[in-house]
Chain A
């Protein structure tokens, strides 16, 4: 059953991501591939679990920060991570700082991903990191950030572990961080 994912759906989603990077695909094509992947995983994941098979590279907790309702980029990152064998817990959009902290504590992800699409909400990413430090949780999780106004300089400034320029880059970043 793993082969259905690894030789089929994952390859397809990764190919869609590559075509998007090359300017050939756009949001609708990515949405279609994400939908296909999600539908497949809904069937395959429970079956894999029942067999005790795990192909998970790690657990990622992801969401868009407080005051920001933009969902698309974050959902694309979720799909690309799923296609690359990550277990992803998607908290949705407009996630409060406290929810991020509580979920990190409860779900113990290896990676926390935060999205912000507005210059007015991106400061929330830094605020959550500050709260993680305050709660003694910062060392337990790698933090990655993304969204249109964010840069690697911004990631450094707020003490994140990395910045993903797009959904494909976010996966490469997650792979790199977990290898360290």
Chain B
């Protein structure tokens, strides 16, 4: 029996994985096609991405289920497949870990992104509708091996994040990490909805999050400043997953502009600040993770 993930979170130095969507696009996923669909149509490709991250040294891999609510899959006419696509995503991640040789303990984080329905005044979804979206997605984890963590991520509305966490609590006892996506403006770090990082972190802590986190939107340099703020706001374990710089086009293909070694150097600064777990978001690849692993092991 390996060490439970939450026990490891009590110390620093946990390494998550990097981007999934960008890796699948590199494998031929077409624009507008839901990545989660590949959990059933191309499971080998998804499993291989997990394997690459595990080989690079990730302790925790995130499932390919980010957009797995019926509302989001419904944009592609696959809303009815939510449970199956999420279950397949979870199974593939466990399989990738089972294939690894014994040694370092590995864990699975079940990814849940925004549900695809916004609450007023930006959208018109009420709490029940948002909760039902997450409950439908969570159907995918109720049979078979459980995830070690539920990772509610890239949230811009703390109300939605809290509903997702409560939905998870209502169906299982898996620990929940809540990751908001903050941008920097003249006055500090805020989500698009205006949820300020300090205040939001306390709200998440009060509501019983096991891990608070920040991901996407900002590059690793800004993440260091945000991490200091988060560390001073809570005693809970913290996970930070920055983007690999800013997106742009390189020779007509989407590309992020940050070099992996700079990202890895910033990752080590995050651990030094007291951030318990680090990973990457958009544009990060197994190479980014490998460089962090090398520095961690030599640290």
Contact = CB atoms under 8 A, between A and B. Distances in A.
B194 A120 contact: no
Nearest to A26: B194
A70 to B, nearest CB: 11
Given A23-B186, A23-B190, A67 B31 contact: yes
Contacts of A157: 249
Contact of B194 (A22, A28, A119): A28
B122 A149 contact: no
Counting from the closest, the 9 A-B pairs by CB-CB distance are A26-B194, A119-B254, A67-B32, A23-B185, A120-B31, A23-B186, A31-B121, A149-B247, A23-B187
Contacts of A118: 31
10 contacts: A22-B186, A27-B122, A28-B122, A31-B122, A67-B32, A120-B31, A122-B249, A149-B247, A154-B249, A157-B249
Given A23-B185, A69-B75, A120-B32, A149 B190 contact: no
A26 B190 contact: yes
Contacts of A32: 121
A120 B254 contact: yes
Contacts of B248: 119, 149, 151, 153-154
A78 B247 CA distance: 25
Contact of A119 (B32, B185, B249): B249
Nearest to B186: A23
Contacts of A22: 186
Interface residues of A, number: 28
A68 interface: yes
A26 B31 contact: no
Nearest to A68: B32
Contacts of B75: 69
Nearest to B119: A28
Given A26-B193, A28-B194, A120-B31, A35 B249 contact: no
Interface string B23-50: 0010000011000000000000000000
B194 to A, nearest CB: 3
Contacts of B247: 119, 148-149
Given A118-B31, A149-B247, A157-B249, 5 more contacts: A23-B186, A26-B194, A68-B32, A119-B254, A122-B254
**Prevailing SS type, chain A contact patch:** loop
Contacts of B192: 26-27
B252 interface: yes
B271 to A, nearest CB: 29
B192 to A, nearest CB: 5
A47 to B, nearest CB: 26
A72 interface: yes
Nearest to B255: A119
A121 B31 contact: yes
A132 to B, nearest CB: 19
Of listed B122, B192, B248, B252, residue having the most chain A CB within 10 A: B122
Interface string B256-282: 000000000000000000000000000
A45 interface: no
B31 A72 contact: no
A28 B121 contact: yes
A151 B186 CA distance: 21
A110 interface: no
Q: Which of B193, B247, B255 lies at the interface centre, i.e. has the most chain A CB atoms within 10 A of its CB?
A: B247
A154 B25 CA distance: 21
Contacts of B254: 119-120, 122, 149
Contacts of A23: 185-187, 190
Contacts of B249: 119, 122-123, 149, 154, 157
A119 B185 CA distance: 23
Interface string A10-28: 0000000000001111111
Nearest to B249: A154
A80 to B, nearest CB: 16
Most chain A beta-carbon neighbours within 10 Å: one of B31, B186, B187, B255: B31
A67 B31 CA distance: 7
